[in-house]
Every structure is written in structure tokens, then in C-alpha cells.
Amino acid sequence: MKQRRPAIVALDSSVLLIIRLLLAGVLLYAAWLKLKDPASAQKFANAIAAYKILPNHLVIVSAFAFPWLEAIAAVLLVLGLWTRAAAAVAGLLFVAFIGAIGSAMLRESVNLTTCGCFGERSLLCTGPPSWCHIAQNAGLTAMCVYLLWRGSGVVGIDRRLDRRLDQTPDNGPRGPGGTDNAGGPSSPSQQASSDSPESGGGQPQIRW
């Protein structure tokens, strides 16, 4: 109910921004390594096939879909556009990866030499799928969940976009960005409307 102090808002937004950039960096790196040339795409398809989870007809599509989703989510996270949705998609990907790695560790018929998570490179963990990979993905998932909960923070397109979308039904169509640009991050009257499910209800001020 109480108004947050600007210092706390700034700190919180910086944390959110750092997490967004970090996550976007990891995602872009992963996507780039898988999409940069046909040979990489082929290797990633082989890596997915080696997990023996997906049927063959889905392996090739997913070999392209995973990196593209990573890339799109990364761009959206950097822009702060649709942050929650992008974080949710990235989180789903990481959870899927955790499931794949876990199942590969459990099944003895699957002998992987590499995780395949970052093409031929690796982030923190090397070698075949291990607890290290699961922990790494769990950490990334946690970041996604945090963003899903908190949204983009002050820095980002979401803030303006959502505000406009929320106000359109009440106030009718607005001029293209006039008030939005003037409003800036600390305009309390415009923070009143919120679309976030967890901060809806009776706490209009707590909306970053």
C-alpha cells in the first residue's frame, strides 16, 4: 500500500534489467551457435536425435524452433517488450531442457558425449549431461520465473505499451505516445492501472 521510495525502485529496476540482459545474452549465444550455419543446425539436429525423446519427424523442426524461440525471447527481453511472455517462453524452454537432460541421465540406453545445449560450445558445464547442466538450467529458469513475476521494470517498452493498452478502453484512443513520452517512469497516476495478475487487486502503486 505504501509508495516505494525512488531509490528502491531504481535498485529493483536495475536488478530486473541486469537479469534481462544476462538472460538475453545466454539465449542469444545459444541461438547463434545453433543457427549460424547449416553445419551447426545439422549438429544440433543430431544432438536432439541423440536424446531419443522426440520422434524423427519432429527433430528437424525442433532443431530450428528451439534456437529461434531463444533468439526471439532474447530480443524481446533486451527491448523489454512483452517481457513476461518472453520470460515464460524462455522458462518453458529451460524446463524442457532440464527434462531432456534428466531423462537422458536416467536412461542407460542414451549415451551422449555432449549436452548439445550450446552447440559445440558450453557455458559453465562441459561434457555429457550432468547435474551441472541441470543446475545451470535451473538457475536460468529461476531468472525467468523472477521476470515472469516482476515484469520488465522501469526500463523497457512494456511499461508504455501496457499503459496505453490498459487505458484505451476507458479513455478512448490516445495520440501516438504523447502522454506516454511525457509521463516517464514516475507518473503515479498512470501506474494505477495494472495488467499483471499478481499485483492486480488492491495495490495499484506497486507496479513497476
Partner 1 sequence: MRLFVRILAILGLGLTAALVHSWAVPVRLEIAEARPGRDLPPRADRAASGETAPQETEQQRRASEPQTRETPSQAEATEPPTLNLGDPCDGLDPYSFTTELTLAEAFCLHEFAMAGDGTVVFVDARSGRALFEQSRIPGAMHLSANMVLDGDPAFEEFLGLVAPDAWVVVYCSGGDCDESKNLVAQLQAFGYESTYIFVGGMDDWLGAGLPTEGTSEGSGGSSGAGGGGR
Instruction: Point out which residues bind partner 1 (CB under 8 A).
Output: 35, 38, 41-42, 45-46, 49-50, 52, 56, 59-65, 68-69, 72-73, 76, 82, 84-86, 88-89, 109, 111, 165, 195, 197
Q: Of 87 and 154, which CB lies nearer to partner 1 in the complex structure?
A: 87
Minimum CB distance to partner 1, residue 68 (Å): 4
Minimum CB distance to partner 1, residue 7 (Å): 29
Minimum CB distance to partner 1, residue 53 (Å): 12
Beta-carbon contacts of 59 under 8 Å, excluding residues fewer than 6 positions away, are 45, 48, 49
Q: Please, which residues bridge with residue 118 across strands?
A: 121
Query: Residue 83 has which C-alpha cell?
Result: 517481457
Q: Which helix (H) or strand (E) holds 156?
A: none
Query: In a 10 Å sphere around its CB, with 0-12 CB exposed, 13-18 middle and 19+ buried, how is residue 1 labelled?
Result: exposed
Q: Of 45 and 104, which CB lies nearer to partner 1 in the complex structure?
A: 45
Q: Of 10 and 88, which CB lies nearer to partner 1 in the complex structure?
A: 88
Q: Of 35 and 78, which CB lies nearer to partner 1 in the complex structure?
A: 35
CA separation for the pair 174, 187 (Å, rounded): 17
Minimum CB distance to partner 1, residue 57 (Å): 9
Cα–Cα–Cα angle for 69, 15, 190, nearest 5°? 85
What are the distances in angstroms from CA 161 to CA 157, 192, 198?
A: 6, 14, 18
Query: Residue 29 has which C-alpha cell?
Result: 549465444
Q: Of 49 and 132, which CB lies nearer to partner 1 in the complex structure?
A: 49
Minimum CB distance to partner 1, residue 123 (Å): 21
CB atoms within 10 A of CB 132: 16
Minimum CB distance to partner 1, residue 143 (Å): 17
Q: Of 8 and 65, which CB lies nearer to partner 1 in the complex structure?
A: 65
- Phi then psi for residue 121, to 5 deg, are -90, -175
